[in-house]
Chains A and B, each alone.
Chain A
Amino acid sequence: MALDQETFALLKESVRRFVQERLVPNEDRVEHEDEVPAEIIAEMKELGLFGLSIPEEYGGIGLSMSEEVEIGFELGQTALAFRSVFGTNVGIGSQGILMDGTEEQRRTYLPKIATGEYIFSFALTEPGAGSDAASLKTSAVLDGDHYVINGTKRFITNAVRAQGFTLMARTDAANKGAGGISAFIVPRDTPGITLGKIDKKMGQRGTKTCDVIFENARVPAANIIGGKPGVGFKTAMKVLDRGRLHISSISTGMSKRLLKEAATYASERKQFGQAIAEFQLIQGMLADMQTELYAAESMVRDGAARYDARDPQMPMLAACCKYFTTEAVGRAADRAVQIHGGAGYINEYKVERFYRDVRLLRLYEGTSQIQQLVIARNLLKNLGN
């Protein structure tokens, strides 16, 4: 349910202040320690960030998509590692349970996910199943009233912090496609689950991803999301639809930050006796950044409003938003480094890190190429209508 304007203004202001006063000043620490400080995580829990998208009746804030993207514009303006800590609870880790879970599953897990007591990860990707997610091999074989799970999941965000997983596994060995996949709620303390070593990544220091290995892990059949096997892939795709708009808003927030860094630097840095912002070639880059930022903001707001209005074109529009905004932030980071000149290649400057950080946005939750396919397939399908 949408909030009244007054309440939402307060909410947004509170998040903005927290980002600017608590997160931005801690960016260097996260970069150097490769860890989000425990006290910051505690403050995020207290502030309520883990429950942004979970309805009030399950202990969350219950933002509409339009509201969530406005908050995303703020959250995106700092190192992406901060958002990653609660990102899986707000998005892919919890939404499957909310969208398709039974009432009992919702009541059991969502209130704890909303407060951050439970951190939930989303386990879909495998060593052999990335963009072709429907080919996943992790198996779940029924044995009495339990499923026995075997397989390996890759690049699982927050696995080291997680108390549970939303796991996609094949319950129907005969069906090699999407229809053989089911979604499970798997508590982390289930015997038979081990974690691989933490991945060393190009950027986003402070975020934690690793392999999750299932060896004869026994999960109650009652833990299938919604209680129905064979619809897990549909659940995953619905979850990613919403997630794409969330990532779009984060990407747009980061574009805004990059523009601020670049414009500030250009106004202070002097060459040939004047601030480099006075030079038209620099101005051209700043103007391109501003224009794309405005386009991204407008697009994400429109996409979110249509999501709230249940626009049937949503899968295509969400893919358009994710495709455009993540590519745009890539260009923004490139220009920001260019404006910084040699300094932009030095780790001490924020733009050097952000340049590496934003590269991931075009890869996860569906690569740009997958977005292109979703867009093209949908538009061709609707050609006759």
Chain B
Amino acid sequence: MKILVPVKRVVDYNVKVRVKADQTGVETANVKMSMNPFDEIAVEEAVRLKEAGIATEVIAVSCGLLSCQETLRTALAIGADRAILVETDVELQPLAVAKLLAAVFKKESPDLVILGKQAIDDDSNQTGQMLGALLGRPQATFASKVVIEGGAAQVTREVDGGLETIKITLPAIVTTDLRLNEPRYVTLPNIMKAKKKPLENVKPADLGVDVTPRLKTLKVTEPPKRSAGVKVPDVATLVAKLKNEAKVI
């Protein structure tokens, strides 16, 4: 069984993100970048499936600038067998990424695609679903457990108010939630081995995909500053405020 794992290079989760002065986006120059944490969970899951003898090959794929190679090297160090970079300096939106991934899917014919449910930069939560639709294959989003058996995946999904377990026929798309697994520390010997693993570089044109943006970003702004709290003299005032001002009870 072949698994395809798309990974995105994002601003590191520890970085305090700053909006650019001209409000066109966020600062990424000289900012620490790393693999989207949900994608890291996806790579970990794929590698565990390989270690369990269920998968035979794990292929990591990333779309974007040449620097995404570093993110792919991380995936290779976790345990992916090879990597594909779809290199472009065009700003990629979820639909464009989904189309690129669909093209890679057709080339590689994997049995399973595992990717993060969303990226922590734009929080779109669209790529996995769009990929499923473009390929006409089943999807299971927000997975907290994945069991592969008999050409199908039994996936436990984190839905509002509980867990839902569904069975989907392979090939299929699975997007990961936070509790699916805890990714390992990348070991130094495996980082050294990752240097020697193949990393293929293709362009969107090679895949016949037009990645021109369709959405226009009008403005990016900081969220409003949190205003100071108030102290109430007694419980009665608190209850009154919750009822009349906050309208939560």
**Chain A 99-126: CB-based contact to B (< 8 A → 1; otherwise 0):** 0000000000000000000000000000
- Decide yes or no whether A39 CB sits under 8 A from chain B: no
- Report the Cα distance A111→B192, complex, angstroms: 15
Contact between chains at A7 and B188 (CB < 8 Å): no
**Chain A 44-75: CB-based contact to B (< 8 A → 1; otherwise 0):** 00111101100010000100000000000000
- Decide yes or no whether A13 CB sits under 8 A from chain B: yes
| Complex contacts, B194 vs chain A, CB 8 Å | 7, 10
Which residue in chain B gives the minimum CB-CB distance to A13? B34
| Complex contacts, A52 vs chain B, CB 8 Å | 188
- Report the Cα distance A351→B108, complex, angstroms: 55
Contact between chains at B70 and A9 (CB < 8 Å): yes
| Complex contacts, A9 vs chain B, CB 8 Å | 70
Nearest Cβ on chain B to A115's Cβ, whole angstroms: 9
Residue from A4, A6, A18 having most chain B Cβ neighbours under 10 A: A6
- Report the Cα distance A61→B195, complex, angstroms: 12
- Report the Cα distance A7→B187, complex, angstroms: 12
Contact between chains at A10 and B74 (CB < 8 Å): yes
| Complex contacts, A6 vs chain B, CB 8 Å | 69-70, 73
Contact between chains at B192 and A61 (CB < 8 Å): yes
| Complex contacts, A269 vs chain B, CB 8 Å | none
Contact between chains at B34 and A48 (CB < 8 Å): no
Known: A14-B191, A56-B192. A43 touches B185 (CB 8 A): yes
**Chain B 70-105: CB-based contact to A (< 8 A → 1; otherwise 0):** 100110010000000000000000000000000000
Residue from B34, B77, B189, B195 having most chain A Cβ neighbours under 10 A: B189
Contact between chains at B186 and A10 (CB < 8 Å): yes
- Report the Cα distance A4→B73, complex, angstroms: 12
- Report the Cα distance A141→B191, complex, angstroms: 46
- Report the Cα distance A11→B189, complex, angstroms: 9
Contact between chains at B187 and A10 (CB < 8 Å): no
Contact between chains at A10 and B185 (CB < 8 Å): no
Nearest Cβ on chain B to A209's Cβ, whole angstroms: 27
Choose from B74, B187, B192, B195 the contact partner of A46 (Cβ within 8 Å). Answer: B187
- Decide yes or no whether A17 CB sits under 8 A from chain B: yes
Contact between chains at B189 and A10 (CB < 8 Å): no
Contact between chains at B188 and A11 (CB < 8 Å): yes
Which residue in chain B gives the minimum CB-CB distance to A52? B188
Nearest Cβ on chain B to A94's Cβ, whole angstroms: 16
| Complex contacts, A18 vs chain B, CB 8 Å | 185
- Report the Cα distance A56→B195, complex, angstroms: 13
| Complex contacts, A48 vs chain B, CB 8 Å | 187-189
| Complex contacts, A7 vs chain B, CB 8 Å | 73, 191-192, 194-195
Interface size classification for chain B:
10 to 19
Choose from B69, B185, B195 the contact partner of A47 (Cβ within 8 Å). Answer: B185
Choose from B70, B187, B195 the contact partner of A14 (Cβ within 8 Å). Answer: B187
| Complex contacts, A13 vs chain B, CB 8 Å | 34
Nearest Cβ on chain A to B169's Cβ, whole angstroms: 37
Which residue in chain A gives the minimum CB-CB distance to B70? A6
Nearest Cβ on chain A to B241's Cβ, whole angstroms: 30
Contact between chains at A17 and B185 (CB < 8 Å): yes
**Interface residue SS majority, chain B:** helix
- Report the Cα distance A18→B188, complex, angstroms: 11
| Complex contacts, A51 vs chain B, CB 8 Å | 188-189
Known: A7-B194, A7-B195, A61-B192. A47 touches B73 (CB 8 A): no
Within 8 A of A (CB), among B48-71: 69-70
Nearest Cβ on chain A to B127's Cβ, whole angstroms: 25
Nearest Cβ on chain A to B170's Cβ, whole angstroms: 32
Contact between chains at A47 and B70 (CB < 8 Å): no
Contact between chains at B189 and A4 (CB < 8 Å): no
Residue from B185, B187, B188 having most chain A Cβ neighbours under 10 A: B188
Residue from A13, A15, A18, A43 having most chain B Cβ neighbours under 10 A: A13
Contact between chains at B69 and A49 (CB < 8 Å): no
Which residue in chain B gives the minimum CB-CB distance to A71? B188
Nearest Cβ on chain A to B140's Cβ, whole angstroms: 30
| Complex contacts, B189 vs chain A, CB 8 Å | 48, 51, 61
Contact between chains at B191 and A11 (CB < 8 Å): yes
| Complex contacts, B188 vs chain A, CB 8 Å | 11, 14-15, 47-49, 51-52, 61
Within 8 A of B (CB), among A6-37: 6-7, 9-11, 13-15, 17-18, 22
**Chain A 327-369: CB-based contact to B (< 8 A → 1; otherwise 0):** 0000000000000000000000000000000000000000000
- Report the Cα distance A11→B194, complex, angstroms: 11
Which residue in chain B gives the minimum CB-CB distance to A50? B188
| Complex contacts, B74 vs chain A, CB 8 Å | 10
- Report the Cα distance A7→B185, complex, angstroms: 15
Nearest Cβ on chain B to A114's Cβ, whole angstroms: 9
Residue from B70, B74, B77, B192 having most chain A Cβ neighbours under 10 A: B192
Which residue in chain A gives the minimum CB-CB distance to B188? A48
| Complex contacts, B69 vs chain A, CB 8 Å | 6
- Report the Cα distance A49→B185, complex, angstroms: 13
Residue from B34, B187, B194, B195 having most chain A Cβ neighbours under 10 A: B187
- Report the Cα distance A46→B188, complex, angstroms: 9
Which residue in chain B gives the minimum CB-CB distance to A9? B70
- Report the Cα distance A52→B192, complex, angstroms: 11
- Report the Cα distance A7→B199, complex, angstroms: 14
| Complex contacts, B185 vs chain A, CB 8 Å | 14, 17-18, 22, 43, 46-47
- Report the Cα distance A48→B189, complex, angstroms: 6
Nearest Cβ on chain B to A124's Cβ, whole angstroms: 29
Which A residues fall within an 8 A CB radius of B?
A: 3-4, 6-7, 9-11, 13-15, 17-18, 22, 43, 46-49, 51-52, 56, 61
Question: Can you sample 17 A-B contacts with CB below 8 Å?
Answer: A6-B69, A7-B73, A7-B191, A7-B194, A10-B70, A10-B73, A11-B188, A11-B191, A14-B77, A14-B186, A15-B188, A17-B185, A47-B185, A47-B187, A48-B188, A51-B189, A52-B188
